[in-house]
Amino acid sequence: MRLLAVDTAAEGCSAAISVNGNVVAELTRVDPASHSRQVLQTIATLLTLAGFSAADLDALAVTIGPGAFTGVRIGLATVKGLAAALGRPVAGVSALDVLAMQAGRYGGPICAALDARRGEVYVSFFKWHDDELRCERAPWAASPERAFAFRTESSPAETTLFIGSGARRYRDLIVESLGRAAIFAPRYADTLRASVVAALGERGFEQGLGTPAAAVQPLYLRGVDAARPAASV
């Protein structure tokens, strides 16, 4: 399977191509303000590096959120448009699942957290069971105090690995609350990587979770940040 994976859900604009599970090319740029300008250029450059044309692709994968509203929409619209034009299936992947995978095979709880702004985080907890990474708590949006309290309530004796922009922003709060029971992934691991989106997307196709482009929907955990201006009187 030749699969194109794309992520624009957070700070980075990342794209990767995998062939039968092996990544052959990946490009990642970190500049959330210009996702709309970067994503098509990134995909075009990536295809050239891999020596493929769009018609050579068998499937596509994309992060569906949670994340920045505009970023999620840009990635989804780009991938869905390309998939519809090519007649290829799409696998939607949670951005928090990607972060948890990027934490590696840590033996204890993993907290994947994205900065949701407005004093909140998008967060979910995971744990490895043999060779399977399982979600222990479904994604939700909450204040960091409320979100990270779940860790102390569910596994008070275990050291938790925190990863993502949300964990980075509220590191002091986490350390104050958990002390040595909290450790943090390296900063470079906080950027979502399309190569991991590709791996999770391929797993989704193996499990029969690929869908037509039109069926892929974003994962929103709260309303849009921007509000329509009030009508003048």
* Domain chopping of the chain, boundaries: 2-95+191-215, 96-190
For the full predicted model, state whether its pTM sits above 0.75: yes
pLDDT at 95 over 90: yes
- What pLDDT, on a 0 to 100 scale, did the predictor assign at position 227? 39
CA distances (Å), origin 169, targets 12, 28, 63, 166, 172: 16, 21, 22, 5, 8
Helix (H) and strand (E) counts in the chain: 7, 10
- What pLDDT, on a 0 to 100 scale, did the predictor assign at position 33? 66
Question: What does residue 105 show for φ and ψ, rounded to 5 degrees?
Answer: -85, 60
CA distances (Å), origin 82, targets 89, 153, 228: 10, 44, 30
Cα gap 153→21, rounded to integer Å: 38
- What pLDDT, on a 0 to 100 scale, did the predictor assign at position 126? 95
Partner residues linked to 117 by β-bridges: 120
Dihedral of the alpha carbons of 4, 218, 63, 148, in degrees to the nearest 10: -170
pLDDT at 214 over 80: yes
- What pLDDT, on a 0 to 100 scale, did the predictor assign at position 217? 95
CATH node for 2-95+191-215: 3.30.420.40
Mean pLDDT, residues 201-226: 87
Question: For residue 15, what pLDDT band results from cuts at 50, 70 and 90?
Answer: very high
- What pLDDT, on a 0 to 100 scale, did the predictor assign at position 154? 59
Other beta carbons less than 10 A from residue 34's beta carbon: 11
Domains 2-95+191-215 and 96-190 alike in fold = yes
Mean pLDDT, residues 148-163: 78
Structural element, H or E, at residue 139: strand 132-142
Mean pLDDT, residues 75-98: 97
pLDDT at 225 over 80: no
Strand ranges across the sheet with 22-30 = 22-30, 12-19, 2-7, 59-65, 90-94
> Does residue 201 contact residue 91 with C-beta atoms inside 8 Å?
yes
Report domain 96-190's class: alpha beta
CA distances (Å), origin 54, targets 46, 74, 84, 86, 139: 10, 18, 12, 8, 33
What average pLDDT does the chain have? 90
